[in-house]
Structure 1
């Protein structure tokens, strides 16, 4: 399991050197076979593999191939309705396509087709290198995830939990501090689950009443971000005492508990603090205030009253003791008073106490504050990847104020980063401007590459992009899904987001462009798949620019209730060569497992030849059926939001580190530290970025 996680996260393997001499033909054969999947070995890894016995190597290789197949999607059988796609669809008569579809809808059987000869794959693929790793590096990855200052995804939590369950000695894994409160609840919950915790160990992590609430949520299998309500389970007496002990040691209990009043009241009904006559007096008092609505003036209430009265000076005076809250309300404070000087001066005083993630977001926000984008886009907290886009009606703020705030953030960050170890000569790739900083990964899906929502990835060479979808129906937690029909669609828009055409089960091929669908399969007891091919030059030639790829659960099951569902895309220079699904040409693959019925994995900008990573769940407001035609309004809104998104980028982050900790050079070859898309520290090493650079 350790190598499975290591391979997925860093494309590395831990292999212990042996005392043997493996015949070279075994490594050569393995590497040749792995080319089919798009991977190869690095020289250091080959050198260690050569010291293994034949049996050891074969055991390692068989597991590796299985893991690589799962990464790219080759672990399942791809059998589209038209196996000779795309040529078969393009040359078929309309009547033939119509009759085949009707027969399948009635019988659920696929039409029989005589096989057509397919020439071998002509595309030349850049192989991804699997490198040699070590236990210390793997442990550091997990430690980085635990001490990240931003939220992490469910797959990252699964990896942390496996380590907590498996490792006997967690001293090298657990940091002295867990900065993010969500991670505190999850990690401590896992420690308790596997009986590897005591009050001394976990007490240092639990500092507020909300920390205790998150722990109770984690122990109940709920959402530690607190974005969704949790039904608390019945706790054992020892667990109740532990939660009350932790709550009793927290300062400022009442105000913290009032933020989540109703949840605390429900939790109090389970904890029963009144049962303990001579203990937990602080807890009893807090629950009494909550249950009986006794008056209690909170910090938040004072701030809201001041803002409501537009008393900026009073609001600033209250907020100055909570730097992070001050920074988050900075825009509001500047909007309610034309005299911005007192606000900016106080922010300059307290900026040193604001966390790095918040400073970076404030800096990016005010750098683009007066740009007149049509929409403001937000990603709400929670485990489902939703985006909210609203009209941008914010009034402008004085340019001088924005520039001063940006400079204050930069100076504070550079002073902070300058205390970190030096980087020497540093190269920063300008393409990193297209990659968003990882501030919120809690709703990110498991994927071939870990990418931050809103990032723009360059398309590889080739004129045809091929989307793919695979899903399966069956039993999940003992409950049968029933028939499952997931539809793959691609909608084309011009540069102004005016609809041009779509490719879906209702329109298998374009009348204008070179675009085709592999056929609509409506049941998947053994798994089913769909493909869409789009020829990029043919769309651009006639005014097309954006393509939104979408998945619609026609039979209404949410993706989280399916045994398996994933999607992705390939870039093909010769679409009729090779098999329909060629694993070596897979650029990205993403698991679709959110509690939603509509998903938008990516949006394409064909003019810029960029893939905009979305990983979004779209709310369903169809006219009748859950299909692409019924969700046009939502897709256009999300398309406009994601293509105009302004978020802090990795180039700005790494440049701050470069200026503060090293000397900038123009070429990667002459640098000691490289930040780039393809080498050195890359945008896909999120655990490293979150722990070491957003710190």
Structure 2
């Protein structure tokens, strides 16, 4: 018996709250609704057999049923168990990508993929151009074998083109209508299904497997999840924002009891305020909410951006701004009027273009006497010349007189010189001390320019270091970590520079580092200063008796540019590396479903480079095979109508690729006809480990190579989103047998995107990413975990085969103890196993002995009981190092 997920065509959407909890390893049975009536599923099996079947199906998707969930399921009646099982499997299938059928162009991929791509193209084009209707085949000469294919209408000879080998038209590769009925009638099964005779071994679960446990109290778990998201000190990704909305809908927000006093991340704050201002029932409480949570003009700009259909990060331009309700306009202008005038003027000029567009709907001069300081700031922004003697002229004149140190009138216009312009002028004129004094007013800006200021510094470093230390005390932890990485990059030997510019997507580009190096003594002092600040903050967190660390986290970077990170099955920060899965073959996959009425052609491609980054070949729709089957493409589908969509695969044989002189592989997804990923109904890609082989003698779809998509073997699955058309998710280093997660986009314009047009750019990217991230400039999760443990734990255990026990000595400074941990220095104790349960842990795999309520970060969650311990994300470990509020704040 199997409780395999149903076909997507008949499956309903899963409750978003259920999905949010499942990502945390928790199952709330009440949220898993029935997908169809039980009688349509067939007769219910005995409960014990049904639970075993459910465990097997969950394992086939890469999830493990925990003991308390197992006990709960075993107590259910058979109909209830069946309903819960189908709901759970539907939800898990959507997470891993098994909620859709995966049908490549060539049904017998990878065994029967044509080798001569050019010859195949010539035959396709000749048949397309020369084949007349109701005539003999122009290729083989047989009569009565030519038929039109639906829906494209191309004439296909059934002798030359065996439709049993294709899921699309052999000429244009568009999906053909007959494929639906043919595949349903044949041996195809939904992707989550597992044959009854195929054994499933829990030990064969993938690295990214998650242990699922029962939610004991749904309200408590939902409130805890809301609190964790609002407490983040790094911007939430789109997936997390969607989860927050779903959780808040479940909680309800009329009483505002869930709203904390402080929401640190301004984008999250704007997102929450937007929910509040759109609720008429909260109108009387909105002034107080804005006074508490909108502390700058930019906070209000983010809110207005959301009200016009934009995003809180203001990264996507808005084509047409919506008209604002009078109540909201008055609220915003009233709040702007209460802000410090110098900060208001600076914030308006910092986002000048956005505020100019917003002011068209805000009408700041409509009742200027109500908010004179706000009207003055907009007049300075716009360069307004009021009519002499008008009421507006009187209001602006009175306001300008109150702020005469900040603004002046020039030919009737209000003028203001921004803080940023003062900084740039000081730097341009060589007034470095003045520039440092100005930047010290904004600690984050000083740290972002730290290496520039350090390069220019020529005097006694003592005062400069004191200024940096004061700025570091107030800066956000992500800014401190970025400054630490920049100092290391500027001090150590030059490597390629890698940039992730701010924007709606992580657009990656690289250039050579031609800057002169920082003196080693100054760079070392700056680095120690920043590390000491992180340790000082960690020391204020609750102490624990025992901490457990895993050195494997040295390959995992602390998160940066997180707001543009893709929704992924494995939450791996950009730049991190992980070993290739065991086995000699790795399979890449892509699936997409086009919107109705729009044909979309996505292409899964692999670009190949040697050790120097020189282009050596490719595997894509123009070359279905590379080398001696070193890489094999499943064929190019050029449309993806619902409900089947389209899938493409590429098999990579590591040994054969190495024999062909390939070192780097770049995985790329192109939108060939220039349709943005965000327009797709569904679009995702990923990596499978050790895809199954098959018996060449078998017949039927996918018989020669097994089903092309098997969710248990999925190592990573990520969504393709945003307004981009070229995604470069990862780079593989075959020499090191490691994958580096980039999650980046490339800029491109026009149609016909393919590897040939980007081969040089992709090669530079592969080598630069390897050298930059491999240099160790950026802080790793291992280093971050060592800081936490060194400052908070009485004893630190490091497991690396054996277990080494560390204790801070009385004479040892915290920074020296942390360095001893980071660099695997001498330990006080050497043990064969973990000697005590840990209350804090940072691990590669979650298979450790932990105390109840332990706080643990693990890249791979298998073994973690989410109902017993508090699972931390990488961003949480960073967020905990936020600056401490000063007395009186």
Q: Could you say whether these structures have the same fold, taking a TM-score greater than 0.5 normalized by the shorter chain as the test?
A: yes
Moved more, 458-467 or 133-142: 133-142
- Is the 1:140–1:173 contact (alpha carbons within 8 Å) kept by the matching residues of 2? no
Structure 1 position 92, deviation (Å): 8.3
**In the alignment, which residue of structure 1 is the partner of 2:235?**
151
Q: How does 1:132-211 map to 2 (within 5 A)?
A: 132-133=214-215, 134-135=217-218, 136-169=220-253, 173-195=258-280, 198-211=286-299
Q: 2:88 matched to 1:88?
A: no
Q: How many residues align?
A: 685
TM-superposed CA distance for 1:52, in Å, is: 3.4
CA offsets 1:648-695 (integer angstroms, 9 cap, x no match): 221111111000001211337345122112214124724643543567
* 1:419 and 2:586 matched: no
Q: Please point out which of 656, 670, 673 is paired with 1:555.
A: 673
- Closer/same/farther in 2, CA of residues 122 and 44 from structure 1, 3 Å limit: closer
Distance 1:156-1:108 versus aligned 2 partners, 3 A rule: farther
SS of residue matched to 2:877: helix
Deviates more, 1:160-169 or 1:238-247: 160-169
In structure 1, the residue matched to 2:213 is 131
SS class of match (1:530): strand
- The answer as to 2:261 corresponding to 1:261 is no
The answer to whether the 8 A contact 1:49-1:57 is kept is yes
Q: SS of 2:107's equivalent?
A: coil
Aligned with residue 729 of structure 2, among 571, 596, 601: 601
1:651/1:694 Cα in 2 relative to 1: closer, same or farther (>3 Å)? farther
CA distance in 2, matches of 1:102, 1:446: 43
Q: TM-score normalised to the size of structure 1? A: 0.92
Q: Is the 8 A contact 1:427 1:674 kept in 2?
A: yes
Following superposition, the deviation at residue 524 of structure 1 comes to 1.9
Name the counterpart of 1:286.
377
1:596 aligns to what SS in structure 2?
coil
Counterpart residue number, 1:229? 317
1:522 counterpart = 2:638: yes
Aligned 8 A contact 2:117 2:623 in 1: no
Task: Tell me whether 1:112 sits opposite 2:163 in the alignment.
Answer: yes
Tell me the distance in 1 between the aligned counterparts of 2:592 and 2:882.
37
Partner of 1:682: 858
- 1:181-580 alignment to 2 at 5 Å? 181-195=266-280, 198-230=286-318, 231-251=320-340, 252-276=343-367, 278-292=369-383, 294-339=414-459, 341=461, 342-475=463-596, 480-481=597-598, 483-512=599-628, 514-526=630-642, 527-572=645-690, 574-576=692-694, 578-580=706-708
CA deviation vs aligned residue, 1:470-509 (integer Å, no higher than 9, x gap):
112233xxxx32x221111111111211111111111111
Residues 558-608 of structure 1 show CA distances to partners (whole Å, capped at 9, x for unaligned) of 111122211111011644453111111111111112211111122111222
Structure 1 80/111 Cα, relative in aligned 2: closer, same or farther at 3 Å?
farther
Change (3 A) 1:345 1:27: same
> Which position in structure 1 is the counterpart of 2:55?
31
Alpha-carbon distance in structure 2 between the residues aligned to 1:298 and 1:362: 25
Distance in 2 separating the partners of 1:114 and 1:240: 62
- CA shift in 2, pair 1:187/1:550, >3 Å: same
User: Quick one: distance in 2 between partners of 1:378 and 1:298?
Assistant: 27
Larger displacement relative to structure 2 (113-122 or 3-12): 113-122
- TM-score, normalised to structure 2's length? 0.72
Q: C-alpha displacement at 1:421, in angstroms?
A: 0.6
Distance 2:118 2:326 in 1: 69
Taking structure 1 as reference, are residues 329 and 93 closer, same or farther at Cα in structure 2, changes over 3 Å only?
closer
State the SS of the aligned residue for 2:573. Answer: coil
Is the counterpart of residue 657 in structure 1 residue 708 in structure 2? no
**Are the counterparts in 1 of residues 606 and 619 from structure 2 also a CA contact under 8 Å?**
yes
Any conservation in 2 of the 1:101–1:520 contact (CA below 8 Å)?
A: no
Taking the aligned partners of 1:83 and 1:275, their CA distance within structure 2 comes to: 67
Deviates more, 1:409-418 or 1:571-580: 571-580
Distance 1:463 1:121 in 2: 22
Q: Cα 1:442–1:275, aligned 2, differ >3 Å: closer, same or farther? A: same
More moved, 327-336 vs 227-236: 227-236
> 2:709 pairs with 569, 572, 581, which one?
581
- Asked whether 1:612 is paired with 2:788, we answer no
State how far apart, in whole Å, the 2-side matches of 1:625 and 1:338 are: 53
Query: Distance in 1 between the 2:364 and 2:457 partners?
Result: 47
Which structure has the greater CA radius of gyration?
A: 2
What SS class does the counterpart of residue 221 from structure 1 fall into? coil
Greater CA drift, 380-389 or 166-175: 166-175
1:6 equivalent in structure 2: 20
Find the residue that maps to 2:242 and give its secondary structure: helix
Higher relative contact order (CA 8 A, sep 6+): 1
Relative to structure 1, the CA distance from residue 121 to residue 385 in structure 2 (aligned partners, 3 Å threshold; closer, same or farther) is: farther
Kept in 2, the 8 Å contact 1:72–1:586? The answer is yes
Q: Is the 8 A contact 2:666 2:762 kept in 1?
A: yes
User: Which stretch of the first structure deviates more once superposed, 405-414 or 329-338?
Assistant: 329-338
- Give the CA RMSD over aligned residues: 2.9
Q: Distance in 2 between matches of 1:390 and 1:504?
A: 28
Deviation at 1:100, TM superposition (A): 6.2
- The whole-number CA distance in structure 2 between the counterparts of 1:97 and 1:585 is 33
Equivalent residue number for residue 41 of structure 2: none
Q: Which runs of 5+ in 1 are unaligned?
A: none
Greater shift in the superposed pair: 329-338 or 205-214 = 329-338
